[in-house]
């Protein structure tokens, strides 16, 4: 993509061309390295089969799908920023960032398609595409991200179900952050001022709506088979969904001339800012959280 862009734009000067080629080379290296690492640490532990499809739409109360959308949105956003830093015009950078995000995650889905444990998931592909296209659509329509996809995480305490949670979601903090669906919440964070420019709201204040789930001890049900063959049935533990309404901060809207601080704000803006939150869940309960993250 970088070589095509340079060829089409003869006005790009030599230093900018060098930076674009450098970013392109780094991307190739990161892609190659990550796919190699995935193969060694993930796919090599499972039997490989002929390419096949797998419909996992109903798993984990769709928390996994929201995770795919969040990931693809963030990859598109930050990839576009890096390409713009390299010298691409913003109108080109958003396309390169969005398409490269979809391409990268689509390759991961293809690799899943050859794994006996998983398979090529069309719902995953659609979730990946939705995140990237959501970023691209806003960039083309508004030249801004008025609505951001964010994530928050609060460790969930499993009590006597800790061994089951360790099997499913891992033991380290990083593993749990990425895989523990009971602790994750995904948000659409709307910048109020961007839709109501004459309002008195601060430019950085957002209204956020979140979605999460609790007491998920299996993909579809709280029933599983232990490695020793024992069937464990905890269908008495209700799985439920949670909807939140909260305030948020768009860190990228905070004005600063310091480039380092802008970078820090951009990186941490993938997460929702802790704030009071109103919860309504499918257990029929309404709760007010003084601080929720």
Secondary structure (DSSP) of 230-251: -EEE-TTS--EEEEEEEEEE-G
* CB neighbours of residue 67 within 10 Å: 20
Residues 181 and 281 in one domain: yes
Interior CA angle at 44 toward 42 and 46, to 5°?
Answer: 85
Contact 246, 215 (CB under 8 A): no
| pLDDT score recorded for residue 96 | 96
136 and 201 together in one domain? no
Q: Is the domain of 114 the same as that of 201? A: no
35/128 same-domain check: yes
Task: Give the pLDDT score at 10.
Answer: 40
- Domain count of the chain? 2
State residue 40's pLDDT score.
72
Please give the pLDDT value at position 6.
38
Distance of CA 24 to the CA centre of its chain: 23
Domain of 34? 1-145
Residue 61 has what pLDDT? 98
What secondary structure letter does DSSP report for 163? Answer: H
Are 274 and 154 in a shared domain? yes
Q: Which of 97, 127, 145 is the last residue of a domain?
A: 145
Residues 111 and 217 in one domain: no
Query: Are 128 and 202 found together in one domain?
Result: no
Identify whether residues 139 and 253 lie together within a single domain: no
Domain termination residue (choose one: 129, 145, 161): 145
Mark whether 152 and 141 lie in a shared domain. Answer: no
* Paired sense of beta strands 184-191 and 205-214, if any: antiparallel
Residue 31 has what pLDDT?
85
Which runs of consecutive H residues, i.e. helices, occur in the chain?
Answer: 2-8, 14-41, 63-86, 90-112, 122-142, 162-169, 173-179, 192-195, 259-268
Q: Give the pairing of strands 231-233 and 240-249.
A: unpaired
User: Per-10-residue mean pLDDT for the chain, 293 residues long?
Assistant: 42 72 88 81 82 95 98 97 94 96 94 92 97 98 98 95 94 90 98 97 98 97 94 97 98 94 96 98 97 92
């Amino acid at each position: 993509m970088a070589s095509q862009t340079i060829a089409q734009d003869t006005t790009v000067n030599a230093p900018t061309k060098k930076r674009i080629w450098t970013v392109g080379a780094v991307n190739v290296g990161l892609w190659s390295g990550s796919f190699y690492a995935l193969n060694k640490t993930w796919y090599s532990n499972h039997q490989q089969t002929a390419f096949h499809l797998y419909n996992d739409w109903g798993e984990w109360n769709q928390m996994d799908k929201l995770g795919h959308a969040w990931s693809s949105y963030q990859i598109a956003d930050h990839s576009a920023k890096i390409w713009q830093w390299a010298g691409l015009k913003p109108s080109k950078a958003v396309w390169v960032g969005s398409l490269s995000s979809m391409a990268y995650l689509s390759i991961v889905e293809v690799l899943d398609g050859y794994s006996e444990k998983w398979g090529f998931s069309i719902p995953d592909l659609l979730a990946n595409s939705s995140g990237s296209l959501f970023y691209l659509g806003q960039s083309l329509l508004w030249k801004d991200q008025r609505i951001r996809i964010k994530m928050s995480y609060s460790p969930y305490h499993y009590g006597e179900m800790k061994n089951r949670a360790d099997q499913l979601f891992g033991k380290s903090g990083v593993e749990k952050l990425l895989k523990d669906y009971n602790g994750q919440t995904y948000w659409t964070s709307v910048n109020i001022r961007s839709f109501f420019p004459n309002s008195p709201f601060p430019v950085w204040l957002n209204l956020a709506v979140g979605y999460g789930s609790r007491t998920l001890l299996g993909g579809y049900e709280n029933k599983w088979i232990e490695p020793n063959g024992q069937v464990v049935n905890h269908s008495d533990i209700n799985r439920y969904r949670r909807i939140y309404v909260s305030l948020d901060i768009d860190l990228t809207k905070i004005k600063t001339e310091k480039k380092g601080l802008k970078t820090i704000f951009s990186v941490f803006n993938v997460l929702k800012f802790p704030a009071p939150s109103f919860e309504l869940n499918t257990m029929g309960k309404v709760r007010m959280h003084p601080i929720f993250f």
